[in-house]
Structure 1
Amino acid sequence: MKKIFRYITLSIIGLTASCNDDYLEHYPLAELTPENYFRNAQELESYTNAFYNQLPDALDIHYYNPHQADDEARNTLPDEFRGTRITPGDGGGWSWGALRRINIYLEHSHQCTDEQARLLYDGIARFFRAYFYFDKVVRFGDVPWYESALGVDDEGLQKPRDSREFVFEKMLEDIDFAIEHGRQEKSAQLITRWTALALKSRMCLFEGTFRKYHGLDNWEEMLQECVKASEELMDAGVYSIYTSDPNTAYQELFIAEDAIVDEMILARQYTENIPLVHSANFYTLSASFGRPGMQKSVVDSYLMKDGSRFTDLPGYKTMQFYEETRDRDPRMQQTIRTPGYKRIGSDQASVPDFATCVTGYQYVKYVLSAQYDAGRNTNDMPIFRYAEVLLNYAEAKAELGALTQTDIDRSIKLLRDRVDMPNLDVNAANADPDTYLVSEYPNVSTGADKGVILEIRRERRIELVREGHRYRDLMRWKEGQRLAEPFYGMYFPGAGAYDLDQNGTIDLVLYEGSAPAPVPGRQYQRLGELVLEHGLNGGRIVNLPDITKTWDEDKDYLYPIPLDELLLNQNLTQNPGWAE
């Protein structure tokens, strides 16, 4: 039975502290004012526990639609993909309550005379301030920097936006402090020195590549900071890539009841004992919540088992499900249903269910046995894992033009070794850049490292799929136009009966007109309701063909500031292209 980790206990305490935030903001009772709180390690710990509520939950990680970007198709589209975002009156992510609580803590923590405890919890607070501002910079670009808790009449509330360069320098000060004073013991539930290094690796890769591809200055410095943080974590030898059977190891990471601490640097914990559960099974397998499915472009990106490129094969565009899933990178069969798939706890092979998956490429990542289907998942969810740090390291080095085969051998190779895949060859990749990836990422910088940059992007997409990274990746690479392209699913030549797993039994019937007499065990889809790109002449499944998607290169990489905020603070300016 799953044990209650300390993080769960702290989260509950944190929720309680969060409910009592008003006592630290409005001071209704003299005995609860900041001046006579923050006196000892227990009070510092209790207050900082509330900061953990900033971390993403399971829905943010595996389901929140914009995060999955062009990796995933559903029967709905968010405004970001449709080009229908408008400037909101209020809300819109422009919220500062979490920052105020952090700054209240940092203004008063000196009241604790236990210096060791104060430095530890100050480091946690500054981790979360960097984390808070990372989200704001990604979303809005320039934002006001506040390092004190302002009152309602404070003149600081009327300050203009600070440049993202200034804000990022302040974030680096915070995260470096968190690294210096963080816990040395690794924990998948608590912020540690290693969590801080992972955040620094992530945020510096984002900022470095965003600046590079959006034409801003000092991108090299940010990428060098990413390399430095990644190397420090790698050299410490505290984490490793989890391995077991190459045909199951990758999937095991995401179905584990308790986060596998070999690789999971930080995870969101779930347990039935409180209860604190999530709905990955339900959202993945229900017909009621978007019917999510992997997009065809991701399937095409997986390499063959021998390391060769699937998209180099003749006729790859018209391969059907059984053929296209044979002899591929084992991570494919551990991420989506492929022929022979058996659900956990079942001896019966299952093909994709088109009633619950719009593309036919149905996820198995995070999916547990049927007993958890009614919204009762208890598998922990990844927030930071070592694999991401290795990918950050390799990408930053490649974008700097400093990547060597040795760098690949200590990063990408470890991910491929897990699933018994051949290593990435730097010279071969650069000598022959994949034309398919070139078409996927037209903005990749030309130069000697173009081929390996593309291959690292492939690796990142495959390794981190459905972990909430893809939207930000497209934003920093200036590849947002991918969101305006059609999303596709499986290829079918037209109406007919299909044995998807080639076991001698018909699994799916695509038909025109009236439905045929049903046969038990078969799925039925009417052409026209399930749309193929060439109509009755076949093609890939087209997701939401009647919805027009657009992307505005001049404005859509940043979100708009709400109109009410512009009225309240006349010194704020709106992001380019958004209505004032």
Structure 2
Amino acid sequence: MKFKYAIMICILFMVGCSDDFLDKQPLSDVTADNFFLKASDLQLYTNGFYRMFPSTAIYDGDARADNIVSTTLSEEMRGARTIPTTGGGWDWENLRDINYFLENYEKCEDEAAKRHYGGVAYFFRAYFYFEKLKRFGEVPYYDATIDPDDMESLQAPRESRQFIVDRILEDLDRAIEDLNEEVQAFRITKYSALALKSRVGLYEGTYEKYREISGYETYLNASVDAAMELMDNSPYEVYGTGNPDTDYMTLFNSHDAQTSEMILSRQFSQTVAVDHNVNYYTTTSSFGRPGMPKDLVNSYLMQDGSRFTDNPNYDQLFFTAEVAGRDPRLSQTIRTPGYTRKGESMELAPNLGATMTGYQLTKYVTEPVYDTNDESITDLPILRFGEVLLNYAEAKAELGTLTQSDLDMSIQLLRDRVGMPGLDLGAANATPDPYMQDQYPTVSGANSGVILEIRRERRIELYMENHRWDDIVRWKSGQTLTQPLRGLYFPGAGEYDMDDDGDVDVVLFEGEEPSGQVQGVQYIRINSDIFFDAEGLIDPQPDFNTRAFDEERDYLYPIPRVELQLNPNLTQNPGWE
């Protein structure tokens, strides 16, 4: 029954499944004995594994952490997580489906298909365990299906982190060996497995390094090797058309994935009613009101490569002066003067009603016709070459083997896209940025300056791509999440031109609403619609200015209570007992 259900899900999940299966005997007659015999059988079954990827939660890791400030802070940011009774991410159904496939797929008579789809399954088992590792740390490991009556297996204890990571890397190496070597925007290939390996190695290597666990170098070297293979022997490159003022934005607001850089994406299409809500999320005043925090805006360099935070009174510059002459990725990620919607010519000022911080997000945003909830169709990235370059540079920096040449073939390529100067290794290490040091005080050593610069680059380049929470965890930088959340600077009540076009866009007032209001102007009441701190910065969450992060507990999630009762050999994560 379980097997039949899995097959039914596969059919429903993938619209483009092969007709070969539909020509076979009725579903009620499908068994492990008469399935898994043809390439179409293997494709059909593995199609169901793609459900494991995030859909609209592609920016979940940014909203859980400090990259996106909304009307409600996440439980992680508020320190409000509790131990669930059930659920909580402790689910194993996908693993059983994968292991069942691996126990049966070799019946296939098509050797090429058997090799490739076996590789797909090994990829997804690695992906499954990587997600479990990040969330819970040590977990039981199963590489075979478990009989419901096998209590010894069902009550297996947790394996060590290193054991789990080594199994993940073994599965990825098998996948890399077996998967087809081709460009497929929405399908697993050898390149997908290499990209995931670079991510896994960097995650575990830095996780262990910043907790002083011996042997971390092995994982950082695995990340470097996988990234180097992609950099040297793959068709991928940094997307660009030679237009530094739009190329970064175009990469993310194209309806179809830009396959020159996107190694693996989640596909969305109105044709099959598979869509997401990023336009609605970022443009409406009634759903979250997400905004970029000021500390991230401050992190963007000037366009000449100098530090914005080295400027006097940088925190009390009005918006139009603040965003002028900055890294072009800033104006391609939030609304700045001159912003127009895709397919439109009208310039738009930031809508303070649609963002808690005043910095209104534009990444992934397309034409206004897609502004209705769940109507957006931009394909969303899961793995891309830009991340691989950042993984490479960071892993080399953390190993202490980074050279200027390494930076020139990684970070430089990302900066070239937007016309930014390169990162100078010697200068970065000679004069570490004090602003970045305040954000990440645990970074030390001779390479601290360049590590801080790579973290700056990573946060900017990978914004809204589901990395920020994982980065905070692996860097053991939870205290970063307790720093004040702030937004735009305003000197007080008055009229403000937010896009330097000579017209008033925003009126901040106290007390009674102004009379003779002008259509198209935003009227915002201080201490009611908007709040400020003592320095004149928007305070988007005045009720949560005092937050705490428990260093002994909050990097992992708790195991549900019922699971501890069902398996007496499980132990709760530290601090959650």
For the aligned pair, the TM-score class normalised by the smaller chain equals: over 0.9
Post-superposition CA distance 1:421-450 (Å, at most 9, x none): 101000000000000000011111x21111
Is residue 137 of structure 2 the alignment partner of residue 141 of structure 1?
Answer: yes
Is residue 182 of structure 2 the alignment partner of residue 200 of structure 1?
Answer: no
What pairs with 1:47-58 in structure 2 (closer than 5 Å)? Answer: 47-57=45-55
> Which residue number in structure 1 is paired with residue 182 of structure 2?
185
1:332 to 321, 330, 333: 330
> Which residue number in structure 2 is paired with residue 456 of structure 1?
454
1:11, distance to aligned residue in structure 2 (A): 9.8
TM-score (normalizing by structure 2):
0.94
> Which residue number in structure 1 is paired with residue 93 of structure 2?
97
> Which residue number in structure 2 is paired with residue 20 of structure 1?
none
Kindly provide the amino acid, as one letter, of the partner of residue 566 in structure 1: L
Secondary structure of the structure 2 residue equivalent to 1:383: strand
1:305, distance to aligned residue in structure 2 (A): 0.6
1:317 to 315, 318, 322: 315
Secondary structure of the structure 2 residue equivalent to 1:497: strand
Post-superposition CA distance 1:314-362 (Å, at most 9, x none): 1101111000100001111110000111122322211111111111100
1:210–1:126 distance in 2 versus 1, CA, 3 Å: same
1:74–1:556 distance in 2 versus 1, CA, 3 Å: same
Unaligned runs of 5+ in 2: 1-7, 16-25
1:376, distance to aligned residue in structure 2 (A): 1.5
1:34–1:421 distance in 2 versus 1, CA, 3 Å: same
Post-superposition CA distance 1:186-235 (Å, at most 9, x none): 11111000000000001110000001112222111100000000001110
Secondary structure of the structure 2 residue equivalent to 1:293: coil
> Which residue number in structure 2 is paired with residue 434 of structure 1?
433
Post-superposition CA distance 1:50-80 (Å, at most 9, x none): 00111111x2113x36655111111101211
Secondary structure of the structure 1 residue equivalent to 2:441: coil
Secondary structure of the structure 1 residue equivalent to 2:116: helix
> Which residue number in structure 1 is paired with residue 22 of structure 2?
none
1:489, distance to aligned residue in structure 2 (A): 0.5
1:298 to 293, 296, 300: 296
> Which residue number in structure 2 is paired with residue 569 of structure 1?
567
> Which residue number in structure 1 is paired with residue 20 of structure 2?
none
Distance in 1, Cα, partners of 2:10 & 2:562:
34
1:521–1:29 distance in 2 versus 1, CA, 3 Å: closer
Post-superposition CA distance 1:269-305 (Å, at most 9, x none): 1112112221110111112221001110110010001
What pairs with 1:136-535 in structure 2 (closer than 5 Å)? Answer: 136-154=132-150, 155-244=152-241, 245-374=243-372, 375-444=374-443, 446-517=444-515, 518-529=517-528, 530-534=530-534
> Which residue number in structure 2 is paired with residue 131 of structure 1?
127
1:41, distance to aligned residue in structure 2 (A): 1.3
Distance in 1, Cα, partners of 2:383 & 2:280:
24
1:217–1:65 distance in 2 versus 1, CA, 3 Å: closer
Distance in 2, Cα, partners of 1:494 & 1:34:
71
Paired residues of 1:66 and 1:80 also in contact (CA < 8 A): no
Distance in 2, Cα, partners of 1:453 & 1:512:
45
Distance in 1, Cα, partners of 2:413 & 2:84:
45
Distance in 2, Cα, partners of 1:65 & 1:419:
25
Paired residues of 1:461 and 1:470 also in contact (CA < 8 A): yes
Paired residues of 1:44 and 1:109 also in contact (CA < 8 A): yes
Secondary structure of the structure 1 residue equivalent to 2:537: strand
TM-score (normalizing by structure 1):
0.93
Distance in 2, Cα, partners of 1:340 & 1:108:
58
1:127–1:14 distance in 2 versus 1, CA, 3 Å: farther
1:109, distance to aligned residue in structure 2 (A): 1.2
Compare 512-521 and 312-321 and name the one that shifted more.
Answer: 512-521
Compare 139-148 and 210-219 and name the one that shifted more.
Answer: 210-219
1:198–1:456 distance in 2 versus 1, CA, 3 Å: same
Secondary structure of the structure 2 residue equivalent to 1:169: helix
Distance in 1, Cα, partners of 2:10 & 2:35:
20
Paired residues of 1:294 and 1:363 also in contact (CA < 8 A): yes
Distance in 1, Cα, partners of 2:11 & 2:27:
21
Paired residues of 1:489 and 1:540 also in contact (CA < 8 A): yes
Paired residues of 1:11 and 1:49 also in contact (CA < 8 A): no
Task: Tell me the matched-pair count.
Answer: 554
Is residue 79 of structure 2 the alignment partner of residue 83 of structure 1?
Answer: yes
Kindly provide the amino acid, as one letter, of the partner of residue 129 in structure 2: Y
Paired residues of 1:65 and 1:78 also in contact (CA < 8 A): no
Distance in 2, Cα, partners of 1:544 & 1:84:
15
Post-superposition CA distance 1:87-132 (Å, at most 9, x none): 1100000000000000000011121132222111111001000000
Paired residues of 1:68 and 1:466 also in contact (CA < 8 A): no
1:377, distance to aligned residue in structure 2 (A): 1.3
Distance in 2, Cα, partners of 1:271 & 1:453:
39
Paired residues of 2:236 and 2:260 also in contact (CA < 8 A): yes
Kindly provide the amino acid, as one letter, of the partner of residue 247 in structure 1: D
Kindly provide the amino acid, as one letter, of the partner of residue 203 in structure 2: F
Kindly provide the amino acid, as one letter, of the partner of residue 531 in structure 1: F
1:14, distance to aligned residue in structure 2 (A): 6.2
Distance in 2, Cα, partners of 1:447 & 1:173:
32
Secondary structure of the structure 2 residue equivalent to 1:429: helix
Paired residues of 1:430 and 1:449 also in contact (CA < 8 A): yes
Kindly provide the amino acid, as one letter, of the partner of residue 542 in structure 2: P
Secondary structure of the structure 2 residue equivalent to 1:546: helix
Unaligned runs of 5+ in 1: 1-9, 18-27
1:377–1:93 distance in 2 versus 1, CA, 3 Å: same
Distance in 1, Cα, partners of 2:14 & 2:390:
37
> Which residue number in structure 1 is paired with residue 57 of structure 2?
60
What pairs with 1:13-52 in structure 2 (closer than 5 Å)? Answer: 13=11, 15=13, 31-52=29-50
1:200–1:426 distance in 2 versus 1, CA, 3 Å: same
Kindly provide the amino acid, as one letter, of the partner of residue 440 in structure 1: Q
Post-superposition CA distance 1:517-538 (Å, at most 9, x none): 222221111111211111xxx5
Distance in 2, Cα, partners of 1:67 & 1:198:
24
Distance in 2, Cα, partners of 1:111 & 1:93:
33
Kindly provide the amino acid, as one letter, of the partner of residue 394 in structure 1: A
Distance in 2, Cα, partners of 1:432 & 1:212:
23
Secondary structure of the structure 1 residue equivalent to 2:489: strand
